[in-house]
Copies of this chain bind each other. A is one copy, B any other.
Amino acid sequence: MLTLHHLEYSQSFRILWLLEELGAKYDLKVYERDPKTRLAPADYKATSPLGTAPFISDGDLVLAESNAIIDYVLDGHPDSTLRPKPGAADRARHLFWFHAAPASLMTIQFMDGIMTMLQTRAPFFARPLFRAAFSQVRKALIEPRLKRIFDKAEDDLGEAPWFGGQELGASDIALVYSLYAARDRDAFKGRYPNIEGWFDRVEQREAFRRAREKDGRESITFSFGR
């Protein structure tokens, strides 16, 4: 039996939603962050192959990396429509968004989060310097890259309701954490109606609601500013 080791407020929410969409049988083990450092607890970091969330265990296998877990779980569900097969009409669209989620998108968001944390924790006298330097990085790199990604998302969701195409796909699941993190920072309101529609569709799904219930937190994402 597969066990999902789910860290609260972390990227492992993706796997929780995936398993609910598949109606899979699994054990769920939920871990709380350290109340002071907000990091994963020591036993989580020791057991996870890279010390990161998510990870699963399945017999002797212990596997990390969200997308590796998604592909591995889907291997066990060959009839699922979540992963368009080679040659399918939505295949390239699936591949692009599935791989963009933890790569192009998460890389930029992670850097943005670390900068926010550095700025918050910097000694008082140094904050204006950090703010100035980081605002340069945000203007030159982070904001234009996020805009390219969200503009393309808006276009693609104008053509079909899901990142996966006509059906919900593994790419929607891979993107959920990043898109909620961006929405928490007001990235879409009023300017990205197709992306806003996507959130509505996601939140109407029974499996997504069950995942939120099992997670039991008021928010999916972690806030670096806390």
Contacts and interface: CB of A to CB of B under 8 A. Distances in A.
Nearest to A126: B129
A107 B104 contact: no
Contact of A103 (B67, B114, B130): B67
Number of copies: 2
B145 A51 contact: yes
The number of chain A residues touching the other chain, given as a range, is 35 or more
Contact of A118 (B96, B133, B144): B133
A103 B52 CA distance: 11
B133 A64 contact: no
A100 B100 CA distance: 13
Interface string A103-130: 1101100110010001000100010011
Given A86-B75, A91-B75, A96-B49, A65 B103 contact: yes
Interface in A136-180: 137, 141, 144-145, 148-149, 152
Interface in A56-109: 61, 63-68, 71-72, 75, 78, 86-87, 91-92, 95-96, 98-100, 102-104, 106-107
Contacts of A114: 111, 137, 141
Nearest to A48: B148
A24 interface: no
A112 to B, nearest CB: 10
A50 interface: yes
A215 to B, nearest CB: 22
Nearest to A144: B51
A67 B99 contact: yes
Contacts of A152: 49-50
Given A67-B95, A107-B111, 8 more contacts: A50-B100, A66-B103, A71-B95, A72-B91, A102-B103, A103-B103, A126-B133, A129-B130
12 contacts: A50-B149, A61-B92, A63-B95, A64-B96, A64-B104, A65-B99, A68-B99, A75-B87, A106-B107, A114-B137, A118-B133, A126-B133
